Structure 1
Amino acid sequence: MTTVGEENQLVGGGRATAVIVPLTAEHAAQVLAIYQAGIDEGNATFETNAPSWEAFDAAKLPEHRFAALDADGTVVGWVAATKVSDRCAYAGVVEHSVYVHPQARGRSVASTLLKALIDSTEAAGIWTIQSGIFPENTASLAVHQRAGFRVLGTRERIGKQHGRWRDVVLVERRSPLID
């Protein structure tokens, strides 16, 4: 199994409840099922259906996507980043998504996935990670704050979901390591 850095990152406060690995095609079905579960809950994304693996794979930066696996090798969460622009001025800025299986929440999975993403992006010279989070998703806002993200503001009525206008809180983490 390929690992992040020189050794696996354990999730769960020292308990070996999950290991962080690069997200690959072998994780596709489980990753997309977790994505769909987040969509179905209604406070994760404007998307209405998880994409095909081919669309997901093409959109996500391969070097900045990770899966959290439990002791049985089951995917319990994932994080992935996309470029925000093809313009060279934005080469150091990515947007990310992080999703955790509903039964794996409360085990530091999202925090550890965010750490893996931060480590990989900083190693690649990326200075900003950003995301839009629905204000009702207080758990996601809290985990991002703990990971060093700050709230830039709220984009009001930025899009409709099921016929209803939704706000999005824009968060970002600026790397203290990248000049």
Structure 2
Amino acid sequence: MSTRLAPQPADGGTVEHKPFWRVKRLGEMSPEEWESLCDGCGRCCLLKLQDEDTDRIAYVDVSCRLLDRTSCRCSDYPNRRDHVPDCVRLTPALVEEIGWLPPTCAYRLIDEGKDLPWWHPLVSGDAETVHEAGVSIRDKVFCSETEIDEEGLLDRMVSWPARWPRGARKPRVRG
């Protein structure tokens, strides 16, 4: 059994290990790294309406039928497309194309050359910080798509998914 030593810097200091999202482009990430970028906010699982004339996208506070509104995660992620055929499977190319990813989305941030915010679970080490910062959809969803008719969606348009929440901008001081 061989032991591999960590590389030592020539000046005797310590080696700085940068997180993968700071050194890799989206297309270079392993499947595990890619999936770990999802912060569990659930914003992309809100229904969106597209204006036929302008192609403008509007969010509604109605979620996909598979979204668990407490955990803000898909209740059947591996099989989601069996139940929701138009569920979008994000790819690096698609991240560049679609314009409806929330501004807080890690995939969008990394694609734009930005760092992950303090509340992202990869940074904080805590899956609850996305909720504490007010980024997630927890307690903000009116209903699931199975509980409303198509005409009712027009009355549920909201702008908050397309904005950064105030609590998400600066790190909270924990006492």
- Structure 2 length as normaliser, TM-score? 0.29
Structure with greater Cα Rg: 2
- Structure 1 length as normaliser, TM-score? 0.29
Relative CO higher for 1 or 2, CA cutoff 8 Å, sep ≥ 6?
2
